[in-house]
Each structure stands twice: as structure tokens, then as C-alpha cells.
Amino acid sequence: MPGIYFHIPFCKKRCHYCDFVSYVVNDEEIDLYFNVLEKEMVIQAGQSHIRNIRFDSIYIGGGTPSLVPARFLCSLLDRVFELFYMEKCPRLEVSMECNPDSLNLEMLLALKGKGLNRVSLGAQSMNERELEILGRVHGTSQILSAVQYIKRAGIENFGMDIIYAIPGQDENTLAQGLERLIALSPAHLSCYELCLEKGTSLEARVARGEIEYPPQETRLALTRTVEDVMALYGYQQYEISNFSKPGFECRHNCGYWMGVEYLGLGCSACSFLADKRMRNEPDLKRYMDSLDKGELPVSATEELAPEERFREGVVMALRMNQGISTEEFYNKYGIDVLEYYGGLIPDMIEKGLLKFHEDGSRLALTRTGRYISNYVLSYFV
């Protein structure tokens, strides 16, 4: 079912590896931002297509949403339930991304009272040296305190984000770090390989030779370590970078991979509605100015032809370990996956990059296929 995403683009300071849209701002700007975000919600909720959508997930991401005073986030949740048709059932998932240094028990209890039932904690590493290389503003003790707050607030469905392939990391240090995080009993772990994004200070340090980015062979060994440790502790891999205890998959993110519609609100947020992909203005000032004038802050729109939607659907669904059901795809898009891609699929199966699940019903990446997923998926775009 469709989900609503809110982008809260504020951070204490920029992490060394980050190229997301985020700003270091003051309290006054936060106040103004939530004001215009409410205007955007009102305009969007009034659109005829959106009025008919039943949403079953809300995801507050960023930036660092937990940096914002709880009262803003509480009113945001109040308004979303007033304005949109939210599925009123235990399935409703309300997630928020939090950073360890800006989380407290009062905030969690207040938000839980407004429907928050899932927390994703940006832990990234349990090693002080690695946190410093990443330029995180928190240490490991703050990760431990944040997890205690989440547990005391009674939020069972909590996950953590982890970054691996950090300069200096090897399979042993990675496995030890993962085990320390797993000992905190998260229901979900997202493990991302560190990427050197253009223009980041980490990229510049690597270019100057101050630190060494692990070579491809090492990165591959570290990816294997992640998968092995997760499997050892009973976490099921359900997407290339995502692992969970059974039943704790992130429903909101599964919607993206399964080609479900979503509404994105906030500076730089993306939406996929009625076969159109739209991106909001990434410049904070221009985003706020548009809404002050009563206009939607959309900066780019792309209308997808049916065949493009199909191909995009295949690429996204192959990211998930459950893969794609050729029958479901035929029913949804009227295109036969095997016929459409001709010899490509048998060729990928032959090379050990794709496989059919045992019952023959679903096509998925193999373990090797996942390691070079960008290469494999580029053939299906």
C-alpha cells in the first residue's frame, strides 16, 4: 500500500561521507520549515488523486528528524492523520530516523503517543575510530544510551543503519562491530557499503592519500562478512542492503521496491503518483518561497510510459531477495518478463547471476548477482 515520506533536511553538521540534502540551521528556520510543510500537506491532501489513496506507512527521514523539537514532529503527525486517509489498523507503520546524539526518552514517548511505532537509529559503527573517519557527531556510548531510551519507550520495532568498508576495516573488526550492535537486539539492520560521493570531505581525504579506501576485493570480502554474520544471528536478508528478524521488514521501503505509489513531502522529497515521478525543490529557500506563494514546490516531473514503468518495476523488484513473480508482473503490466528480455535471463542464469526460486515461480538475484547488482540490473533498465 502507498506510503507518505517527510524529509526533514536538518543536521548538526555534515558527516564526511554525506551528499544528502541537509542544512545546518537555527530554531527560527525550523519553525518556518514546519509551517510551510503544513501548507504543502494541505495542498497535496486536497488533490483529487491523493484524496482517494489509502496510505499505510509514514516515514520521517532526513537529515536528522530527531534534532527537531518534539512538538513540531507531534503536530506533523497530528496533521497527517487529520488530512490524509490513513489505514487505521495495526499494520500502520510510522517510522522515524534518529541519530544517537539527539534522541531522548521524552521525545520518544511523546511521538509514540502520536503513533510512532518504528525507529531507525543511525548508529553506523561501534568503533570510535570509524565514527571519527565518518565524521559522525556521536560516539559509541551515545548509541548505547539511545537504544536504552528506545527500549524504555517500549518501541519494539527498532532498527539500525550501519556503514561498512570504512578505511582500515577488516573482516574481523567488522564482524566484532556487527556483533556488538546485534547484542542490542535490533529487529532490523540496514548495512550500506561506504561510497565515496563526489564533493564530500571523505572523497577529498582519500584523493590526498590521507586514508585508503578499501579496494574492490576487500569490499567484496566485507560484504560477505555482513551477510554471514546476519545469517548467523537469524536476520533474514530481504533486500540487497536490508536484513530483519521475520516480520520486521520495513513496510515503507518495501513499497518503493515493489513499485507502490508514494507521496514525498518536504525539501527535495520525491513522489511517485499516477505514473509520474516528481521531485521537490532541493534548495531550502526556493522550497519555502514556493509554498509561501501557495504553489507546490515541484522542481522536476517525469511521466513514465507503461514500458518504462515495467522496466523500472523489474529493476526495483530484483533488489529484493524474494525476486519477481513473472505472473504478477504480467497481471500488473501486461508484459511477459521472460519474453520481453529474450536471451538475457537464460544468459544471466547460466552465468550464475540470476536464479529461479525452488518452486520455479520467482526470478531473483543469486548471491553473486547481489555482489555485482549494479552491473546485473543495468541490463534490465
Residues engaged in binding ligand SF4 (CB under 6 A): 11, 14-15, 18, 20, 22, 62-64, 99
Q: What type of residue sits at position 192?
A: Y
- Closest CB to ligand SF4 among 163 and 182? 163
CA distance 308 to 380: 11
Give least dist CB 65 to ligand SF4, A: 10
- Closest CB to ligand SF4 among 50 and 181? 181
- Closest CB to ligand SF4 among 66 and 237? 66
Give least dist CB 86 to ligand SF4, A: 26
Give least dist CB 22 to ligand SF4, A: 4
Give least dist CB 362 to ligand SF4, A: 34
Instruction: Beginning with the edge strand found earlier in the chain, give each strand of the sheet holding 354-356 in spatial order.
Output: 324-325, 362-365, 354-356
CA distance 176 to 180: 6
* DSSP string of 108-153, one letter each residue: HHHHHTTT--EEEEEEE-S-HHHHHHHT-S--HHHHHHHHHHHHHT
- Closest CB to ligand SF4 among 120 and 223? 120
Q: What type of residue sits at position 330?
A: Y
- Closest CB to ligand SF4 among 20 and 72? 20
* Residue length of the chain: 381
- Closest CB to ligand SF4 among 18 and 109? 18
- Per DSSP bridges, beta strands 276-280 and 3-8 are unpaired
Give least dist CB 138 to ligand SF4, A: 10
- Closest CB to ligand SF4 among 20 and 356? 20
CB of 48 closer than 8 Å to CB of 85 = no
Cell numbers linked to 58:
509514514
Give least dist CB 243 to ligand SF4, A: 20
Give least dist CB 8 to ligand SF4, A: 10
DSSP secondary structure code for residue 10 in this structure: B
Q: Where are the beta strands (DSSP E) in the chain?
A: 3-8, 57-62, 93-98, 118-124, 158-164, 188-193, 236-239, 242-244, 262-265, 270-273, 276-280, 298-303, 324-325, 354-356, 362-365
Rounded (10°) angle between helices 140-152 and 105-112 = 40
